[in-house]
Amino acid sequence: MKKMFIAAGMFMIFMCSFGQSKSSVFNNAMGVSGNNNQSFESEKTSKSNAFERHRLWLNMTNTGGAFKQLLIGYIQGATDGYDSDFDGVSINGHAFIDFYSINLSRNLVIQGRALPFKESDVVPLGFSTNIAGEFTIAIGQADGVLVNQPVYLEDKLTKTIRNLREQGYTFTTKTGVFNDRFVLRYTNTNNTLATEDFEDVKTKISIGVKNEIITINSNVENIDKIFVYDIFGKQLSNQENIGNTQFVIQNLPSAQQILLLKVLLENGQSITKKAILQ
């Protein structure tokens, strides 16, 4: 039996078969095993809340009851390579479908990726099925900065880009293995910023912290929304319809801590920055 180690508090793992599923929340000091013949153990027993993490669960389903879920998480300690502490390889143990992300030619039911989260990140997705017909890919759950982050699914076969925040994407497929059809992304490719443009926006949005007051300034465009999270992904503040180049946030929890601020501009551009509340 192959054994994997996954950082405490990182993932919820779903092991499902056609028309039937069971789930377990994986946290410190818990091992999870199921019909995939793999076991998961934690090396950390006391730091389950010490990880910055932003997670996205995607479901692939059909009307007949087929179900498979994958997880992509941006978490402290992970890299964009293969990490045995965070990544879980899909063994295609389901009777009808498999659904996974792809990294370094591995099919992953769980993929940990490096911090900080970047909206320019793209993740190839693949699936296999012995059932022809319609399937739907949709968001099952999200936390951290991904709660309010646009999530796009690109279908390279039909040249379609769907914002999964608005609705799931239903498609038709033949039986077989398809590893080149879908890509997960966080910006619509029609509006994707070039690297130099992204860096320009990054330098023109400034964040200042003094006496527990946070001041956000934009030199490029009016600010539309600001979301503030702690490093565990808990949302602390949600400011919308700002319509100004400057905004001040106060009355946040006073303990010194690292915060993540996601700033969205009225032109659709956005940036996530860290700040220290002190």
Q: How confident is the model at residue 45 (pLDDT cuts 50, 70, 90)?
A: very low
- Strand pairing report for 213-218 and 205-210: antiparallel
Maximum alpha-carbon separation in the chain: 61
Please state whether 9 falls in left (phi above 0), alpha (psi between -120 and 50) or beta.
left
Q: How confident is the model at residue 254 (pLDDT cuts 50, 70, 90)?
A: low
Six token digits for residue 56: 């996205």
Q: How confident is the model at residue 195 (pLDDT cuts 50, 70, 90)?
A: very low
pLDDT at 154: 94
pLDDT more than 70, % of the chain: 76
- In sign, the C-alpha dihedral spanning 163, 167, 172, 177 is positive
Q: Is 142 helix (H, G, I), strand (E, B) or coil?
A: strand
| Average pLDDT, integer, range 106-120 | 93
The CATH code that applies to domain 194-277 is 2.60.40.3080
Cα–Cα–Cα angle for 236, 53, 253, rounded to 5 degrees: 25
By the 8 A CB rule, do 136 and 69 touch?
Answer: no
| pLDDT higher than 70, residue 229 | yes
pLDDT at 202: 55
Q: How far apart are CA 154 and CA 188, in angstroms?
A: 9
Q: Please write the tens of the pLDDT for every residue from 160-181.
A: 999 999 999 999 999 999 999 9
Residues ≥6 apart with Cβ < 8 Å to 152: 161, 162, 163, 164, 184, 185, 186, 187, 188, 189
Tell me the pTM: 0.65
Domain regions of the chain by residue span = 3-190, 194-277
Q: Is 145 helix (H, G, I), strand (E, B) or coil?
A: helix
pLDDT at 50: 54
